[in-house]
Chain A
Amino acid sequence: MQVKGKGLLKGLGITLKRFFKPKVTVQYPEQRLPLPDRFYGKPEFYYDKCIACNMCVNACPNKVIKLETEAVDKKKVVTRYDFDQQYCLFCGLCQEACPKDAIKFSKDFELTQYNRPDIKIKFVKPEQVEQRKEEIRKAAAEKAAAEAAKAAQEAALKPETADKEGT
């Protein structure tokens, strides 16, 4: 039998049931839902791993990454690695392209900034570059010193051998 107003009562029943159901709200800044494993958030860059191969720059479809290098003692030093995040589409191609896992996406998704220039992430700090350059120079100097010492040793040994040869 069709009773008028039956649907109205049914509706009231549904809302009353919802009234006593557990609530689904997550109190966001305090509570967070777990992120999926493949989530791409804010990128992370490991300066020491980077070999400045330019693979990530070429892989990026939006030309987000800007990589600059400087040659110190025939070695490439990364002086700039800028990640212009506002154009990034979080495809992860740069992460895939990198042979040394120097760029990686973290799970940090709170990327809001107060000013537009702050969106661009400048990964390389000048002191990092200086330190790296210093290391290379030091290594080069050590190597040169070692070579010089070896040469001196050889030179010191030379007369003896020459004598030996002479005999």
Chain B
Amino acid sequence: MENLFVSMAAGIRSLLGSGGLSEWATDFLVMFLKLGAILVYILVSALWLVYMERKVSAYMQCRIGPNRVGPMGLLQTTADIGKLISKEFIIPKDADKKLFLLGPILIFMPPLAVFAVAPFGKGMVAIDMNIGVYYFLALASLSTVIIWMAGWASNNKYSLIGSMRVVAQMVSYEMPLILSIVGVIILTGTLNMSDIIHAQENVWFIFLQPLGFLIYLIAAVAETNRAPFDLVEGESEIICGPFTEYSGMGFAMFFLAEYANVVLVSVMATTLFLGGWLAPFGLTFIPSWIWFLLKVYLMIFLFMWFRWTYPRVRVDQLMEFGWKVLVPLSIANIFVTGIGKYLYHSLGW
């Protein structure tokens, strides 16, 4: 079980090698398969998360939630997406047609690209990049551009205001998000995800960086545009924000990408603060990738829990909280971590 996926990859590699393919072609095909598997995982988990979100919200409101389509309502999202596919994709007359169509096509790109460096288990990382964290931060912030593009191309005032809000919110919260991760990087001295996980063998960074984790958590909720920071959407003020003009599958893509982003920030939180695929309490008989997924879904549950507990904040409160509370706190966290690290070294532990 532990080496299920690793040995599967090795098996495919040897099969292709015996087939007389060159080294380069084999590498290329195996990498293609790995990325394909990640793609399938993300799409399936986006479907599952919509269902999970509805179930969690229902249970928190003493309801049952979807239970009609398929066993336990498991096929509800599939049916919803099927409905959305069959609907007409309307392009407004005055919209910038090319950009308007590019929006939903590109929106899945950043989360998919980032997952290439995510370590799903022991030795289960598609590309072991030495600047993994930097790559994550650089690509994850690209979705801001794509949402802005969609809002601009719609040529609709609600879309425009909504996407302005997205940009304001995401840029403001990118700061504390990155600064909270810096603490972890000071402790490990590396940007490689696998090395960061290995550095957590003795103690998870959530215990060494509790403030950093808290800041990351809040900033991640804001980054994914979820309640209580879901100011991008608002039926009574800006309708559906940047997605107002999108119908059918275009809307579905944005909708699913939102959940892909939730998986993304949860994967990062797991890797950076919760010890990645490391088993707690020496429970190593459970495979590392199961531990990883368990931690990721625990994080996702936490995000859903927040969403169905807190009322949304106002725009000015959001900005004030980001710039006046989170940024100074995260800078203080870096400062304290640096001094702590220096003291730790000078004491010679």
The residues of A with any CB-CB pair to B shorter than 8 Å are 8, 11-12, 14-16, 18-19, 21-25, 27
* Complex CA–CA separation, A11 to B310 (angstroms): 7
Contacts known (A8-B310, A11-B309, A12-B305); A19 close to B64, Cβ less than 8 A:
no
* Complex CA–CA separation, A23 to B308 (angstroms): 16
CB distance B59 to A12 under 8 Å? Answer: no
- A-B contact list, 17 entries, CB within 8 Å: A8-B310, A11-B310, A12-B305, A12-B306, A14-B309, A16-B305, A18-B59, A18-B61, A18-B62, A19-B56, A19-B59, A22-B62, A23-B58, A23-B63, A23-B64, A24-B62, A24-B63
Q: At the interface, yes or no: B29 with Cβ under 8 Å from chain A?
A: no
6 more CB-based (< 8 A) A-B contacts, given A15-B308, A23-B62: A15-B305, A15-B309, A18-B61, A24-B62, A24-B63, A27-B64
Please name all residues of chain A whose beta carbon is closer than 8 Å to the beta carbon of B63 when the two chains form the complex.
23-25
Q: At the interface, yes or no: B37 with Cβ under 8 Å from chain A?
A: no
Q: At the interface, yes or no: B60 with Cβ under 8 Å from chain A?
A: yes
List residues 269-311 of chain B with CB under 8 A from any CB of chain A.
Answer: 305-306, 308-310
Min CB–CB distance B218 → chain A (angstroms): 11
User: Number of B residues contacting the other chain (C-beta, 8 Å)?
Assistant: 13
CB distance B310 to A21 under 8 Å? Answer: no
Top 7 nearest A-B pairs (CB, nearest first) are: A15-B309, A25-B64, A15-B60, A11-B309, A19-B59, A24-B62, A23-B64
Please name all residues of chain B whose beta carbon is closer than 8 Å to the beta carbon of A18 when the two chains form the complex.
59-62
* Complex CA–CA separation, A12 to B302 (angstroms): 10
List residues 310-336 of chain B with CB under 8 A from any CB of chain A.
Answer: 310
Contacts known (A8-B310, A11-B310); A21 close to B62, Cβ less than 8 A:
yes
**Closest residue of chain A to B62, judged by CB?**
A24
**Closest residue of chain B to A24, judged by CB?**
B62
Please name all residues of chain B whose beta carbon is closer than 8 Å to the beta carbon of A24 when the two chains form the complex.
62-63
Min CB–CB distance B124 → chain A (angstroms): 32
* Complex CA–CA separation, A19 to B61 (angstroms): 7
Min CB–CB distance A119 → chain B (angstroms): 29
* Complex CA–CA separation, A49 to B58 (angstroms): 51
Please name all residues of chain B whose beta carbon is closer than 8 Å to the beta carbon of A22 when the two chains form the complex.
62
Please name all residues of chain A whose beta carbon is closer than 8 Å to the beta carbon of B60 when the two chains form the complex.
15-16, 18-19
The listed residue with most B CB atoms (<10 A of its CB), out of A8, A14, A19, A21, is A19
**Closest residue of chain B to A8, judged by CB?**
B310
Min CB–CB distance A28 → chain B (angstroms): 12
Q: Mark B52-93, 1 if CB is under 8 A from A, else 0.
A: 000010111111100000000000000000000000000000
Please name all residues of chain B whose beta carbon is closer than 8 Å to the beta carbon of A14 when the two chains form the complex.
309
CB distance B59 to A23 under 8 Å? Answer: yes
**Closest residue of chain A to B63, judged by CB?**
A25
**Closest residue of chain A to B61, judged by CB?**
A18
Please name all residues of chain A whose beta carbon is closer than 8 Å to the beta carbon of B308 when the two chains form the complex.
15
**Closest residue of chain A to B59, judged by CB?**
A19
* Complex CA–CA separation, A11 to B305 (angstroms): 10
Please name all residues of chain B whose beta carbon is closer than 8 Å to the beta carbon of A8 when the two chains form the complex.
310
* Complex CA–CA separation, A28 to B40 (angstroms): 37
CB distance A12 to B62 under 8 Å? Answer: no
Q: Mark B232-247, 1 if CB is under 8 A from A, else 0.
A: 0000000000000000
Please name all residues of chain B whose beta carbon is closer than 8 Å to the beta carbon of A27 when the two chains form the complex.
64
* Complex CA–CA separation, A25 to B66 (angstroms): 12
* Complex CA–CA separation, A21 to B59 (angstroms): 8
The listed residue with most B CB atoms (<10 A of its CB), out of A15, A18, A25, is A15
Please name all residues of chain B whose beta carbon is closer than 8 Å to the beta carbon of A11 when the two chains form the complex.
309-310
Q: Mark B251-285, 1 if CB is under 8 A from A, else 0.
A: 00000000000000000000000000000000000
* Complex CA–CA separation, A92 to B56 (angstroms): 44
Min CB–CB distance B328 → chain A (angstroms): 15
**Closest residue of chain A to B310, judged by CB?**
A11
Min CB–CB distance A103 → chain B (angstroms): 39
Min CB–CB distance A131 → chain B (angstroms): 46
Please name all residues of chain A whose beta carbon is closer than 8 Å to the beta carbon of B62 when the two chains form the complex.
18, 21-25
Please name all residues of chain A whose beta carbon is closer than 8 Å to the beta carbon of B61 when the two chains form the complex.
18
**Closest residue of chain A to B307, judged by CB?**
A15
CB distance A12 to B309 under 8 Å? Answer: yes
